[in-house]
């Protein structure tokens, strides 16, 4: 049921986006989506099913709106901040778009097709233990069994998944806010917008300004630099000098993310002039998507996760990273609440 509901969610979002009212053809799907959502919530609401509670605190990172709002860079920034604060975080995710089934623990020998491009990127960037699974509770149990030192879990895109109990939550909004405020497919919402924040919940805006009435700070974001594709896969850091050296070249930029124009705008603001090629989110990049003979290509880290350096030919592929940081006040509040939840000094 959860898989069918997720498939409907993606189809309804694609059909709705950019419309103020849903096409009449979608109304039967709207009814089906609401029925499935109600049936999925019923056992939990009536107490017939209870969420699995991990032996350590769980931070849920999610959003109310369908489509990418910036959860992946938020998870990466959060995990890195937890590591710097002395915690040993692990990450659980569904692994959207992966070619594997069941619970799978991340390892350095797997590629993005096994874990999903976003979980693979999270593991690559943070080195944190990570597990994917259709049920995050199963993934969490397997991860904790394999990594007994993990003392906090981050649930990636776990807001609408009740099987794993959360202690703290971080809601991410982009410039779309909540759209027209209606549920799918009349609007983009996966669940109703509350009048006020639930307890132990924080809001982060991955946008130039707050896009809902809920209080929350703006993410600190910018370009982190560039690095050749093969070096990025080998773990080399980003370089602002390398990014600056690309100014004046004939560049071609590709982006298979939820908001490719956001990436293209940041390139332009950095003084890089490029022809742009927007790809579908989670696009298959087993073959290079750019025109043959292209000299220099810029891509996001999410795209780089699926690009094999051995298959790009003579094209110089540059991975352009995002410098995404959590505001200090938000991070301080999360860490304080986490210490209380985790009984840490």
Domain annotation for the chain: domains and CATH numbers: 51-218+327-342 (3.40.50), 222-323 (no CATH)
Residues 6+ apart with CB under 8 A from 117: 97, 282, 302, 305, 306
Cis? peptide before 337, omega within 30° of 0: no
pLDDT at residue 17, as a whole number: 47
**How buried is residue 227: exposed, middle or buried, by Cβ count under 10 Å (0-12/13-18/19+)?**
buried
pLDDT by residue for the chain (345 residues), tens digit each? Answer: 445 555 555 555 555 444 445 555 555 666 666 677 677 777 767 677 788 999 999 999 999 988 789 999 999 999 999 999 999 999 999 988 788 889 999 998 889 999 999 999 999 999 999 999 999 999 999 999 999 999 999 999 999 888 899 999 999 999 999 988 877 777 788 888 888 899 999 999 999 999 999 999 999 999 999 999 999 999 999 999 999 999 999 999 999 998 999 999 999 999 999 999 999 999 999 999 999 999 999 999 999 999 999 999 999 999 999 999 999 999 999 999 999 886 554
DSSP H or E run through 31 = helix 27-45
Q: How far apart are CA 59 and CA 22, in angstroms?
A: 34
Six-digit token string for 192: 């109703």
Contact 319, 299 (CB under 8 A): yes
Structure tokens at 324: 């995404």
- Return the number of other C-beta atoms located less than 10 Å from residue 32's C-beta: 14
- Other Cβ atoms closer than 10 A to 323: 14
* pLDDT at position 10: 56
Q: What is the pLDDT of residue 195?
A: 86
Backbone angles phi, psi at 157, to 5 degrees: 55, 45
- Using DSSP's 3-state secondary structure scheme, residue 173 falls into strand
Q: Which helix H or strand E contains 9, and what residues bound it?
A: helix 2-16
Burial class (CB in 10 A: 0-12, 13-18, 19+), 28: exposed
CA 261 to chain centre: 17
Strand (E) positions, 175-267? 201-205, 220-228, 251-255
| Contact call for residues 209 and 100 (beta carbons, < 8 A) | no
Cα–Cα dist 68/266, whole Å: 17
Asked if residue 69 lies in contact with residue 174, where contact means CB atoms within 8 angstroms, the answer is yes
CB 158 within 8 A of CB 149: no
Distance between CA atoms of 183 and 313, rounded to whole angstroms? 45
Q: How far apart are CA 320 and CA 200, in angstroms?
A: 34
Q: How far apart are CA 127 and CA 80, in angstroms?
A: 9
Q: What pLDDT is attached to residue 20? A: 46
pLDDT at position 146 is: 98
- The backbone torsions φ and ψ at residue 104, rounded to the nearest 5 degrees and listed phi first, read -135, 130
Give me the residue label for tokens 């097709």: 113
Q: Compute the distance between CA of residue 132 and CA of residue 318 in angstroms, rounded to an integer.
A: 28
Helix H or strand E encompassing 318: strand 316-325
Q: What is the pLDDT of residue 23?
A: 55
Structure tokens at 128: 């944190």
d(CA 198, CA 201): 6
Cα 93 to Cα 159: distance, rounded to the nearest angstrom: 11
Identify the pLDDT of residue 44. Answer: 61
Q: Please give the structure tokens belonging to residue 245.
A: 């050296």
């Amino acid at each position: 049921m959860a898989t069918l509901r997720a498939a409907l969610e993606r189809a309804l979002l694609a059909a709705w986006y950019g419309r103020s009212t849903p096409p009449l053809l979608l109304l039967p799907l709207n009814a089906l989506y609401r029925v499935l959502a109600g049936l999925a919530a019923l056992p939990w609401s009536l107490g017939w099913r209870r969420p699995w509670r991990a032996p350590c605190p769980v931070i849920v990172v999610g959003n109310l709106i369908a489509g990418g709002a910036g959860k992946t860079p938020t998870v990466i920034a959060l995990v890195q901040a937890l590591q710097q604060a002395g915690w040993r975080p692990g990450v659980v995710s569904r692994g959207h778009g992966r070619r594997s089934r069941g619970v799978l623990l991340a390892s350095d020998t797997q590629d993005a097709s096994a874990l999903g491009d976003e979980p693979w990127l999270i593991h690559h960037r943070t080195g944190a233990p990570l597990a994917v699974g259709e049920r995050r509770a199963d993934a969490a149990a397997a991860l904790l069994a394999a990594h007994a030192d993990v003392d906090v879990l981050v649930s990636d895109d776990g807001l609408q998944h009740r099987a794993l109990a959360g202690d703290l939550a971080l809601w991410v909004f982009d410039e779309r806010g909540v759209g027209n405020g209606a549920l799918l497919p009349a609007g983009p919402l996966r669940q109703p917008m509350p009048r006020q924040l639930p307890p132990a919940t924080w809001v982060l805006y991955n946008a130039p300004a707050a896009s809902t009435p809920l209080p929350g700070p703006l993410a600190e974001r910018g370009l982190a630099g560039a690095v050749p594709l093969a070096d990025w896969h080998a773990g080399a850091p980003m370089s602002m000098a390398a990014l600056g050296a690309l100014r004046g070249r004939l560049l071609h930029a590709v982006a298979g993310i939820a908001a490719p124009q956001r990436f293209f705008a940041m390139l332009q603001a950095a003084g890089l002039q490029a022809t742009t090629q927007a790809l579908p989110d989670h696009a298959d990049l087993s073959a290079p998507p750019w025109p043959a003979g292209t000299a220099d290509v810029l891509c996001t880290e999410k795209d780089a996760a699926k690009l094999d350096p051995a298959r790009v030919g003579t094209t110089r592929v540059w991975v352009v990273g995002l410098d995404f940081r959590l505001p200090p006040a938000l991070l301080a509040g999360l860490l304080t609440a986490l210490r209380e939840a985790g009984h840490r000094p």
